[in-house]
Structure 1
Amino acid sequence: MISYDWDTSPEQRRTVPFQYGYIPDKASSRAICFLSMMSLSFAHVMLRTFSCGLLAVTNMRWLTYYLAADMGLFFLYKIVRKDFFYFINMTGIVRLSISILNRFVIKGMVDFTMLIHLRGSCEMGGFWFLVTLLLSMTGSIVSAYLYSNQYQDDDKLDTESLQAVLGSLSAIWVLSALSLVLVMDRKYLSTFYNFDTASDYERKCFMNAREDQDDLKSELLTDHPDMYRTWGDELLKPWTLKNWDRWEEEKPAWFTDAWIECVPNEYIPYDWRVKYNKTKGRVEDPQMRRRSSVQQVKMLMGGLEEK
């Protein structure tokens, strides 16, 4: 299972320690977590498929409305929270198109595979991941009710069989979820329901990185500026201004021309901005601005004296 591999990956736990690590290190606990994740995924996918199948045979338009409303609510949630655009560093119609496609695909993957690692704030988000799980349960109940009362063909499933299937899958869903919660490291439980945005996620990435993990911090500046606009001046700017001379001397592998081009002008020391020729029409040296003002005053005074 991909989600199991992601959470137990040493690299993921090193780079994003606040998101990955809910599976304990003890072998028996890991086995229980793995089985719980597998059975929860099975129950979720079957309930979702069960719902779609019953709605499709009852009234195809109802299935269309259900899927459209489900996707539309997810899009609306992301838009209202100003978290719809993907973190890719592009602009205009390209960024909009990629964001729409990504949100659509990620939502579909969670709906029909329940990949737990997609609960990350840059993807589905913890809260809407939980909403999706609950909708798979409630949607199956509503679909079964509509099927029982609206579908009239001779090959209709009897109510007892329908209830047996729905009850069994729901029981597996509940027991698997409880088992996972009881065995997992519960300090990560909030990642399954929090309201963090992609910007909040990246801020946590910076805050949780160690002093020697400049490579991880540097990746944040390659994302779209919207991802760090609200906190970049507080955290990223002091970090780059403090360490730029050292990076120029040490030349780490990630410190490339392409990376420097991604860094906002105001995050680069002025002397280096001049060397990179990144000041034109953008950020000026405060000292140069004061000198220019003094020269203007002198010119004005000189003109008055001539008169």
Structure 2
Amino acid sequence: MLSYDWDSSPANRSKQPMFYGYLPDKASDRAVCFLSMTAFTFAHSLMQTCSCSLLAAMNMNWLLYYLGLDMLLYFMYKIAKNDFFYFINKKGLVRFFIAILHRTVTKTLANFTLFLQIRHPHEVGGLAFLFSIPYTIAGSFISIYLYSTYDGGEVELDVGTLQILLGSLCTLWFISGVTFLAFIDKTLIHTFYNADNTSEFKRKFVLHHLNNTSNPDDGKKIASLALKDHPDVYSGWADELLKPWTLKNWGRWDEEQPSWFNETWVEGVPNEYVPFKWREKYMKTGRV
């Protein structure tokens, strides 16, 4: 499972400790988490598949309403959180179409697979990810009820069997979900319901790495990645964190030439973040 692999990755845990690292270090506890993740993602996927299948069998429009309402609520939530556009540094219609495509794909993945990585603030986000769980469970019960009362054709599946199936899946989901929460690192439980948008998360990311005392050079390198994002991501807090950092250290970077201080990175830095005395030297990169 990708979620398991990514959370176990030492590189991810070092780069984003505020998100990765919920899996325990003890092998037996980690195995329990892996089995729990497999169980509740299986239950969630099957419930969603059953709901969609029953709605489509009765009336395809009902399926479209069910999926469309969920997507509409999600888009409204992202817009309200000022988090609709993706963080990559693109402009105009390209940025708009990337946002539409990416948000649709990631929300669909969350709905049908409960892929834990999707709860990242760059993607669906913790709160919207959490909402997909009761929405799917409620949709399962509603679809079975509609199927049992549908008079548009002969009911071909036994409603009692469907109810037993749904009840079993809900029980499996609840038991495996509670087990999973009991074994993971409690300091990261908030990532499963956190409402941070991309900008809020990136601020915490930068602040953590700028204050990295164990390996300050590596921390500065990672923090520099923020300036590769679209300016909308960091404009709200850049004067607090990024601008003082670049103004203070630009001369040292020019002398030491760290690996990340290259032409591509420099071109992405706003003019006002560069000390005036250094701007003429970097005009070759398009700076004025």
Contact 1:241 1:268 in 2 (8 A): yes
- Match for 1:15: what amino acid? K
Match of 1:40?
A: 40
Contact 1:119 1:125 in 2 (8 A): yes
Match of 2:160?
A: 160
> 2:244 aligned with 1:273, yes or no?
no
Match of 2:116?
A: 116
- Match for 1:82: what amino acid? N
Contact 1:55 1:143 in 2 (8 A): yes
Match of 2:82?
A: 82
Alignment of structure 1 residues 177-256 onto 2, 5 Å: 177-209=177-209, 210=212, 211-212=216-217, 213-256=219-262
Alignment of structure 1 residues 38-187 onto 2, 5 Å: 38-151=38-151, 153-187=153-187
> What secondary structure does 2:17 align onto?
coil
1:151 CA displacement: 4.8
1:243 CA displacement: 1.3
Match of 2:30?
A: 30
Match of 1:303?
A: none
Query: Given the superposition, is the C-alpha separation of residues 151 and 7 from structure 1 closer, same or farther in structure 2, using an over 3 Å criterion?
Result: farther
> What secondary structure does 2:196 align onto?
coil
CA RMSD of aligned residues (A): 1.2
Larger Rg, first or second structure (1 or 2): 1
Query: Given the superposition, is the C-alpha separation of residues 256 and 74 from structure 1 closer, same or farther in structure 2, using an over 3 Å criterion?
Result: same
1:45 CA displacement: 0.3
What's the TM-score, normalizing by structure 2? 0.94
Match of 1:258?
A: 264
Contact 2:148 2:155 in 1 (8 A): no
Structure 1 distance, partners of 2:151, 2:48, is 19
Contact 1:58 1:151 in 2 (8 A): no
> What secondary structure does 1:221 align onto?
helix
1:208 CA displacement: 1.5
Corresponding residue pairs, total: 280
Contact 1:21 1:188 in 2 (8 A): yes
Structure 2 distance, partners of 1:73, 1:163, is 28
Write the deviation string for residues 26-74 of structure 1: whole angstroms up to 9, x where unpaired: 1111001000000011001000001101101111110011111111111
Structure 1 distance, partners of 2:145, 2:19, is 38
1:155 CA displacement: 4.9
Structure 2 distance, partners of 1:263, 1:217, is 13
Query: Given the superposition, is the C-alpha separation of residues 250 and 151 from structure 1 closer, same or farther in structure 2, using an over 3 Å criterion?
Result: farther
Contact 2:267 2:287 in 1 (8 A): no
> What secondary structure does 2:240 align onto?
helix
User: Which of structure 1's runs of 4+ aligned residues deviate more than 6 A?
Assistant: none
Gaps of 5+ in 2: none
Structure 1 distance, partners of 2:268, 2:104, is 28
Contact 1:43 1:173 in 2 (8 A): yes
Q: Which one is further off, 142-151 or 22-31?
A: 142-151
Query: Given the superposition, is the C-alpha separation of residues 198 and 252 from structure 1 closer, same or farther in structure 2, using an over 3 Å criterion?
Result: same
Match of 1:14?
A: 14
Structure 2 distance, partners of 1:270, 1:196, is 35
Structure 1 distance, partners of 2:110, 2:235, is 29
1:158 CA displacement: 2.0
> What secondary structure does 2:241 align onto?
helix
